[in-house]
């Protein structure tokens, strides 16, 4: 049966999602994975990297659920968290500039930076990175050890990667120049079906520019190449520190295709802090396909 669903389209550095407000209205949708595929389609839908639900929470102020373009559900989304924070604050779903957002990977504290009544920047405490092989997960090896500079050979070419989970899994490859990185080759091969990554992986390429700056490009699990990935930006800084390319406790500017994020992995808390923009693109009503 066709439904008419009010939506807001938002982006963080060009990583755009269709946001549904399930706090102020009830969402009676039989399949969110199917809806995510429909809205993400740029020709028969709206066009996006996926679907994000803003829901009531029993343990935090609001709850976020994120579905990739292919309908798969992810445990976390950095750009999504900043946009949910902006939406929640501007629609008075919360009554303070600092509040908690529940995700499938735990509660994250968000703080909105308000200028002239608008939320221009958002800082999110992304929590501790997960570094144990078995928890990321990466198959083989010792499940309790970290995965740093691990060798991987693809079609007779040797690569090395470091793996980090920010609630969702990331493999980081360091390159001299991100624009020359084998993003299509390794992204398509590793992201969704490679046996080394039983839950799939977000495939990132990192180029060090200075002691406080990196370039980062990503092929996301479930969505392909996107202009930015917040959890990936966090993982790129953690991996840079694990590989001893940059030092800890320095705010690092991560240059993504769609703009910049500031990321800091703090040694006092072991938490990763992310600061960056969140933008509203448009609002509207989506007419679902009948198969939903
Ligand atoms: N773009 C997101 C991450 C979205 C989920 C990811 N594709 C996954 O499947 O883990 C971000 O900003 O973090």
Q: What is the pLDDT of residues 138-151, one digit of tens each?
A: 999 999 999 999 99
Give the model's pLDDT for residue 98: 98
Q: In sequence order, what are the residues at sequence separation of 6 or more whose Cβ sits closer than 8 angstroms to the Cβ of residue 211? A: 246, 247, 250
Instruction: Using pLDDT thresholds of 50, 70 and 90, give the confidence band for residue 180.
Output: very high
Dmax over CA atoms of the chain, in Å, equals 56
Determine the 3-state secondary structure of 48 from DSSP.
Answer: coil
Atom of ligand 1 nearest to the CA of 49: 1
Domain ranges of the chain: 4-127+278-287, 147-270
Instruction: Using pLDDT thresholds of 50, 70 and 90, give the confidence band for residue 117.
Output: confident
Centre of ligand 1 from the C-alpha of residue 56, in Å: 21
Q: What is the pLDDT of residues 29-81, one digit of tens each?
A: 999 999 999 999 999 999 999 999 999 999 999 999 999 999 999 999 999 99
Atom of ligand 1 nearest to the CA of 79: 12
Give the model's pLDDT for residue 258: 98
Q: What is the pLDDT of residues 238-265, one digit of tens each?
A: 999 999 999 999 999 999 999 999 999 9
Give the model's pLDDT for residue 239: 98
**Statement: residue 291 has pLDDT above 80:** no
Q: In sequence order, what are the residues at sequence separation of 6 or more whose Cβ sits closer than 8 angstroms to the Cβ of residue 133? A: 141, 142, 143, 144, 145, 146, 147, 163
Pocket test for ligand 1, best of 74, 75, 233, 276 (most atoms within 8 A of CB): 74
Pocket test for ligand 1, best of 13, 80, 122, 201 (most atoms within 8 A of CB): 80
Percent of the chain with pLDDT over 90: 96
Per CATH, which fold does 147-270 belong to? Diaminopimelate Epimerase; Chain A, domain 1 (3.10.310)
Inter-axis angle of helices 230-242 and 78-90, nearest 10:
130
Instruction: Using pLDDT thresholds of 50, 70 and 90, give the confidence band for residue 207.
Output: very high
Centre of ligand 1 from the C-alpha of residue 80, in Å: 8
* 8 A C-beta contact, residue 233 and residue 263: yes
Element (H or E) spanning 157, and its range? strand 157-165
Q: In sequence order, what are the residues at sequence separation of 6 or more whose Cβ sits closer than 8 angstroms to the Cβ of residue 12? A: 78, 79, 80, 82, 83, 228, 230, 258, 276, 277, 278, 279
**Statement: residue 290 has pLDDT above 80:** no
Instruction: Using pLDDT thresholds of 50, 70 and 90, give the confidence band for residue 161.
Output: very high
* DSSP-assigned beta bridge partners for residue 23: none
Averaged pLDDT, 163-174:
98
Per CATH, which fold does 4-127+278-287 belong to? Diaminopimelate Epimerase; Chain A, domain 1 (3.10.310)
Give the model's pLDDT for residue 2: 84
**Statement: residue 20 has pLDDT above 80:** yes
**Statement: residue 1 has pLDDT above 80:** no
- Among 62, 30, 63, 37, CA closest to 51: 37
* 8 A C-beta contact, residue 110 and residue 147: no
* 8 A C-beta contact, residue 286 and residue 18: yes
Q: In sequence order, what are the residues at sequence separation of 6 or more whose Cβ sits closer than 8 angstroms to the Cβ of residue 269? A: none
Distance CA 226, CA 224 (A): 6
Give the model's pLDDT for residue 163: 98
Centre of ligand 1 from the C-alpha of residue 88, in Å: 20
Atom of ligand 1 nearest to the CA of 220: 7
Binding-site residues for substrate, in ranges, read: 15, 68, 78-79, 168, 202, 220-221, 230-231
Q: What is the mean pLDDT of the chain?
A: 97
- Do the domains at 4-127+278-287 and 147-270 have one common CATH topology? yes
Residues involved in catalysis? 77, 229
**Statement: residue 282 has pLDDT above 90:** yes
Atom of ligand 1 nearest to the CA of 232: 13
**Statement: residue 283 has pLDDT above 90:** yes
**Statement: residue 14 has pLDDT above 80:** yes
Distance CA 206, CA 174 (A): 5
Centre of ligand 1 from the C-alpha of residue 116, in Å: 30
* 8 A C-beta contact, residue 83 and residue 50: no
Pocket around ligand 1: residues whose beta carbon is below 6 Å from it?
15, 66, 68, 74, 77-80, 168, 202, 220-223, 226, 229-232
The total of other beta-carbon atoms located within 10 Å of residue 7's CB is 20
Centre of ligand 1 from the C-alpha of residue 145, in Å: 24
- Is it true that the peptide bond before 136 is cis, omega within 30 degrees of 0? no
Averaged pLDDT, 124-132:
98
Give the model's pLDDT for residue 209: 98
Distance CA 166, CA 271 (A): 10
């Amino acid at each position: 049966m066709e439904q008419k669903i009010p939506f807001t389209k938002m982006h963080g550095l060009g990583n755009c999602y269709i946001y549904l407000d399930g706090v102020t209205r009830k969402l009676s949708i039989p399949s969110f994975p199917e809806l995510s595929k429909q809205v993400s389609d740029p020709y028969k839908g709206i066009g996006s990297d996926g679907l994000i639900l803003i829901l009531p929470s029993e343990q935090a102020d609001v709850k976020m659920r994120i579905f990739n373009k292919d309908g798969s559900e992810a445990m976390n989304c950095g750009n999504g968290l900043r946009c949910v924070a902006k939406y929640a604050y501007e629609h008075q779903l919360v009554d303070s500039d600092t509040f908690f957002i529940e995700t499938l990977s735990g509660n994250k504290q968000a703080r909105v930076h308000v200028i002239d009544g608008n939320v221009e920047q958002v800082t999110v405490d992304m929590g501790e990175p997960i570094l144990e092989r078995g928890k990321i997960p990466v198959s083989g090896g010792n499940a309790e050890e970290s995965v740093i500079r691990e060798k991987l050979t693809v079609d007779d070419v040797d690569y090395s990667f470091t793996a980090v989970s920010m609630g969702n899994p990331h493999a980081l490859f360091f390159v001299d120049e991100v624009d020359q990185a084998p993003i299509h080759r390794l992204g398509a091969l590793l992201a969704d079906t490679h046996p080394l990554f039983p839950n799939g992986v977000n495939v990132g390429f990192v180029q060090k520019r200075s002691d406080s700056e990196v370039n980062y490009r990503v092929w996301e699990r479930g969505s392909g190449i996107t202009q930015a990935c917040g959890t990936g930006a966090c993982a790129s800084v953690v991996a840079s520190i694990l590989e001893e390319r940059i030092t800890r406790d320095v705010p690092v500017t991560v240059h993504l295709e769609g703009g910049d994020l500031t990321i800091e992995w703090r040694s006092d808390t072991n938490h990763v802090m992310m600061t960056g923009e969140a933008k509203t693109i448009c609002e509207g009503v989506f007419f679902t396909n009948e198969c939903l």
